[in-house]
Chain A
């Protein structure tokens, strides 16, 4: 009797989660579906299936929208941003979590305060700063502002994660004569790998999709990012139509879906491995 009841509850839960998963998946699938349609099919009803799986829209998006170039730029920007973020956040996270630091709280809040500043207001002053430094249209004008935006979140997450690492491990290493950097690279980094993967995904996602700053700061069309290119494409629908835009959106979204699928496996594995060890 209890068994049946349990099974029943499990089934109900399963159905709920399944429905929720459908709601989660639906918008992305919808975009992918539209990207294969002809313009007329899309306009006449947005709920039907495409009549064929032509790649015409993808060709239009790539040629007229210049997306291949923007894709390359965005990959480059994102990789550089993630690299910078991971390194700096790991260094700072370790200092905040495990090291003796006078005025620790003051510095911590100095970084966190960024989370309270509404982004639009800092846009113009930050742009002027980029010009002062004469780094407009360079990678530096992208990665540092992105790092600055991501650092508070990254720092909180990584600090909390490091707080769980027992201090004894570090003390032991110190006694063995390891210096701080050795401890970080040799002991800490392997332990926090799951968190680093998470941070890479989160930081990568936000760099990949960021729009306002890229729009304002990049004035060289050859250095446009995908999000800016997409906005331009979206505004040109009167001449090229909407379905190529959906193709472009699909292209833009797919990389992270695939990366997540790939990373997730190793991510889950390393979490479980960490848990057993810990």
Chain B
């Protein structure tokens, strides 16, 4: 019995060889440029290391304890999750709605098709610089506009105070990510076969019914993909935050990556920074596994 399964195993492996050959270059590149460096990052997390000089001061798990005792670490985690949450809800919804409108047909479609995608074509650094000026309390357009229409008391130092700083960053971030979600949604809406929609038209379905019963179900896999991409992309959000506030004021907009960057390159605590990254990864992997388990349970129940 055991032998048989062993044989089956060998046979499986043998049959997989062509596939392995195709992924070999990718995996090789990952080994050299990701796994080995990452292993070194893990090693650094066990040392007290400044970023240069000899790595001799082995401290064991002390860096991990330092991170876990740091209130700022948990705050930056929370901020990252706030960013992810808002992005998931607003960016994907708006991105889909825009792609739906383009799909349905709208006047000036060509113009919209291009202009709506523009934010994605500008680099993060530039986006950050521009929005920083937009939010500026004295010379920025938002406050100048509010003053103009007599709403002086609504004018705020958007990026320089606790209640609004994170929100302001999130809005900029969403503005920048919508085009991506729109593009991917649009590409996938387009793969929807026209026959279905034509058949629905003959049946006299309204636009809303078509949206609800044909398009949305067709789009669910896309939404799942976009959701995953959003979570992982937002976890690594850095440039915009760094350019606009450097995680300030006083850590109000600190996200996980800016926390790590500051620890590593401003405070020169590479060990602590590496430990923080690894803890973050551990949490994310745990969440992923939990989600998978829930999904599987859900599927099992359905059956």
User: Does the CB pair A274–B23 fall under 8 Å?
Assistant: no
In the complex, identify which listed stretch (B57-65, B151-159, B189-197) lies at the interface while the others stay far away. Answer: B189-197
Contacts A13-B101, A275-B194 given; indicate if A260 touches B121 (C-beta within 8 A): yes
Interchain CB contact (< 8 A) of B125 among A115, A152, A227, A257: A227
Contacts A95-B19, A144-B29 given; indicate if A205 touches B121 (C-beta within 8 A): yes
User: Does the CB pair A88–B33 fall under 8 Å?
Assistant: no
User: Does the CB pair B123–A253 fall under 8 Å?
Assistant: yes
User: Does the CB pair A120–B257 fall under 8 Å?
Assistant: yes
Contacts A13-B101, A46-B133, A156-B229 given; indicate if A211 touches B187 (C-beta within 8 A): no
Where chain B touches its partner, the secondary structure class is: helix
Q: Give the CA-CA distance A120 to B192 in the complex, in Å.
A: 40
| Residues of chain B within 8 A of A116, CB atoms compared | 232, 235, 280-281, 284-285
A-B contact pairs, 19 of them (CB 8 A): A31-B122, A88-B25, A92-B23, A92-B25, A95-B19, A99-B22, A100-B19, A111-B27, A113-B285, A116-B285, A121-B277, A124-B51, A129-B40, A144-B29, A148-B29, A230-B125, A252-B126, A257-B121, A268-B113
Interchain CB contact (< 8 A) of B238 among A120, A126, A156, A261: A120
In the complex, identify which listed stretch (B161-169, B209-217, B244-252, B258-266) lies at the interface while the others stay far away. Answer: B258-266
Interchain CB contact (< 8 A) of A99 among B18, B119, B236: B18
Contacts A31-B130, A211-B125, A253-B122 given; indicate if A120 touches B273 (C-beta within 8 A): yes
| Residues of chain B within 8 A of A111, CB atoms compared | 26-27, 30
Excluding A20-B116, A120-B264, A157-B225, 12 further A-B contacts by CB distance (< 8 Å) are: A20-B98, A27-B119, A88-B25, A89-B26, A91-B25, A95-B19, A114-B34, A118-B235, A128-B40, A144-B29, A144-B32, A151-B29
User: Does the CB pair B118–A129 fall under 8 Å?
Assistant: no
Interface size class of B (residues with CB under 8 A): 35 or more
Residues of B within 8 A of A (CB): 9, 12-13, 15-16, 18-20, 22-23, 25-27, 29-30, 32-34, 36-38, 40-41, 44, 51, 98, 101, 106-108, 111-127, 130-131, 133-134, 139, 141, 144, 175, 179-180, 183-184, 187, 190-194, 221-222, 225, 228-229, 232-233, 235-236, 238-239, 256-257, 260-261, 264-265, 270, 273-274, 277, 280-281, 284-285
Report the minimum CB–CB distance from A78 to chain B (whole Å): 13
User: Does the CB pair A126–B184 fall under 8 Å?
Assistant: no
